[in-house]
Homo-oligomer: A and B are copies of this chain.
Amino acid sequence: MSKTNPGNYFEDFNVGQILRHATPRTVSVGDASLYTALYGSRFAVQSSDAFAQGLGYERSPIDDFLVFHIVFGKTVPDISLNAVANLGYAGCRFLAPVYPGDSLSASSEVIGLKENSNGKTGVVYVRSTGVNQDGITVLDYVRWVMVRKKDPSTPTGHNNVPSLPAALEAASLGDAVPILNKDAFDWDLSGSVHMWDDYEVGETIDHVDGMTVEEAEHQMATRLYQNTAKVHFNQFTEGQGRFGRRLIYGGHVISLARALSFNGLGNAFHVAAINGGRHVAPLFAGNTVFAWSEVIDKAELPGREDVGALRLRMFATKDQPCGELPGKGEEGYDASVILDLDVWVLLPRG
């Protein structure tokens, strides 16, 4: 028996199965600094302990997407090593702040299995959960991936598709944010005067700036997340593959778009939920990423006067500034679009 990890095939999964993932990870200020260096994020809550403490945090929490990427990375060796495609995610909630020094581990429950009609692959649905050293859940989300079967000739009969929410309810948001001491929110230091009240449903925001990605950057990011997906690191193999080059981790695009979104959404300090997302096209080193957002919903949080939620549809493009809001029309996506992301973000209320 080989001691290397062959990954799981479709037949290896069963509904109800729990997979406890390696490798647990203590998140540190070192990770936070690298995250800043990789994306240039400028949200004040995550940047300054003094700012965060003034609002009621213990200190600056770790960036939400850094938490997401670390938890996601752990699931790869067990869930998606033999994946043909990452099909989607849904229902991702950030449930508790993560601080430097917290140790995260992850597990996944198989919540659905559906064999494809060709017999070669099937779709695996998992709910993945990240917990800290005290057993508190900091994050959970569903994702589904198309996974190879070991034996195309033997049907599994699996035909179990879970029902998934199109979007999380506003009432379920905000657990990772303490009740804010709103008077301490300094609109100069935060970099924007626009509070939750100022945004309207239907409003669109071009985030203006562009960021070119280098191979060393996305490789360092993806290794920081201990994500082992081979397509990101191995030019020898990828050079002979479909694209002729390394594919950039989709989460790298998400973090770039989020960092760019500071310009126009500077007070959207917390990503409370990812309702869903689609990596429309691959990103490669040398491409320049741009982003724009549309406010598609707006909600108060029950019992909270301090923060409100905006639901954003955030598009990222490559080599195409977003002044004309390239998105999805009747004929499908604009050729420049690489990401179509649906998130709830929180902002202070006036």
Contacts and interface: CB of A to CB of B under 8 A. Distances in A.
Interface of A: 2-5, 20-26, 28-34, 36-40, 42-44, 47-51, 59-60, 77, 100-101, 103, 105, 133, 186, 188-192, 194, 198-199, 205-212, 214-217, 219-224, 226, 228, 230, 233-237, 246, 263-266, 286, 288, 290, 319, 321
13 contacts: A3-B205, A5-B192, A22-B44, A22-B190, A26-B49, A29-B29, A37-B223, A37-B224, A38-B223, A40-B233, A105-B189, A210-B237, A236-B288
Given A32-B28, A37-B221, A212 B235 contact: yes
Contacts of A220: 37-38, 217
Contacts of A321: 236-237
Contacts of A290: 236
Nearest to A233: B211
Given A3-B205, A30-B33, A228-B209, A24 B48 contact: yes
A208 B48 contact: no
B219 A233 contact: no
Contact of A49 (B101, B214, B222): B101
Contacts of A215: 212, 214, 216
User: Which of A24, A29, A206 has most chain B Cβ within 10 Å?
Assistant: A24
Contacts of A105: 48, 50, 189
A47 B30 contact: no
Contacts of A101: 49
A234 B211 contact: yes
